[in-house]
C-alpha cells in the first residue's frame, strides 16, 4: 500500500496475524511492514502510519544516508547477507571454518545458485498449472541486469540472486516469465495475465527496484 506522510509517499506491506498489537517494522533496506491484528481495518492501519509518520521518515532518511556510503561486504562468520528476504549471518548459510575470503565468496555463490534452483523448481510447478503453460528448459544463471528471461523456444532463466528476495517476490518473477510463454511482449494482455494470478505484482516490482542494490555479493 501507499500513503502520504508530510508530502512524502511511502510504501508499506501489511501482514495480518494473531497478535493483539499493531507494530511497524522497517528493515535495513527501508522495506516497511505493518504487522496488524486480523480485526484491524485499513483505516486503523493508515492512522497508525500517520501517527508514526515522523519516526518513519527519520528512519528512512537514516537508511538513505547509510546507503549512499560505500559498503564492502564482510566475508566472515558474522557478516550479514540476504536470504529469502531476511539478513542472515554468513555462518547460517555456509560453512565458514578455516577458509579465506575468496573461498567464502565461491561457497556463498554456490549456495545461492543451489537454493534458487531448489526454490524455483518447487514454486514454478504451482504457477505453470495455474497458467497452463510449461517451460521447456529452466536454468539458474548469473546476471547483472535481468531477474529472469524467457525465449521464444520456452527456455526460462532466473538470476541466482533471486534467492535473496522474499518468496512472494520470487513468485512474481516466476509468474512474469511464465506469462511470457504465451505473451512475448509487455502488452496489455501480458499484464492482465500477470495480474490475474498476482494482482499486487507492482509492489513486487517496486521491491526489486528499491532493493536490487543490496542483493549483491
Strands 148-150 and 137-141 turn out to be unpaired
Strands 80-83 and 137-141 turn out to be unpaired
- CATH code for the structural domain at 105-214: 3.30.2010.10
pLDDT in tens, 141-181: 998 889 999 999 999 999 999 999 999 999 999 999 999 99
Task: Specify the long-range contacts of residues 115-118, CB closer than 8 Å, at least 24 apart.
Answer: 115/83, 115/163, 116/140, 116/158, 116/159, 116/160, 116/161, 116/162, 116/163
Domain map of the chain by residue range?
A: 2-68, 105-214
pLDDT in tens, 19-74: 889 999 887 667 888 999 999 998 899 899 989 999 999 888 877 776 655 456 78
How far is Cα 213 from Cα 215, in angstroms, rounded to an integer? Answer: 6
Whole-prediction pTM: 0.69
Which residues have CB under 8 Å from 215's CB, separation 6+? Answer: 82, 161, 164, 165
Amino acid at each position: 500500500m501507499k500513503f502520504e506522510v508530510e508530502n512524502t509517499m511511502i510504501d508499506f506491506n501489511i501482514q495480518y496475524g494473531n497478535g493483539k498489537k499493531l507494530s511497524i517494522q522497517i528493515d535495513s533496506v527501508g522495506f516497511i511492514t505493518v504487522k496488524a491484528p486480523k480485526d484491524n481495518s485499513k483505516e486503523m492501519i493508515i492512522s497508525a502510519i500517520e501517527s508514526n509518520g515522523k519516526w518513519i521518515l527519520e528512519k528512512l532518511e537514516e537508511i538513505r544516508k547509510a546507503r549512499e556510503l560505500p559498503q564492502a561486504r564482510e566475508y566472515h562468520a558474522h557478516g550479514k547477507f540476504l536470504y529469502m528476504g531476511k539478513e542472515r549471518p554468513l555462518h547460517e548459510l555456509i560453512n565458514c571454518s578455516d577458509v579465506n575470503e575468496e573461498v567464502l565468496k565461491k561457497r556463498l555463490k554456490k549456495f545461492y545458485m543451489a537454493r534458487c534452483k531448489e526454490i524455483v523448481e518447487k514454486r514454478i510447478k504451482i504457477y505453470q498449472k495455474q497458467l497452463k503453460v510449461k517451460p521447456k528448459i529452466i536454468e539458474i544463471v548469473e546476471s547483472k541486469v535481468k531477474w529472469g528471461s524467457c525465449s521464444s523456444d520456452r527456455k526460462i532463466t532466473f538470476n541466482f540472486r533471486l534467492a535473496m528476495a522474499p518468496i512472494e517476490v520470487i513468485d512474481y518473477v516466476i509468474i512474469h516469465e511464465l506469462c511470457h510463454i504465451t505473451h512475448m511482449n509487455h502488452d496489455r494482455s501480458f499484464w492482465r495475465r500477470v495480474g490475474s494470478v498476482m494482482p499486487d505484482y507492482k509492489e513486487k516490482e517496486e521491491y526489486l527496484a528499491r532493493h536490487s542494490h543490496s542483493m549483491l555479493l
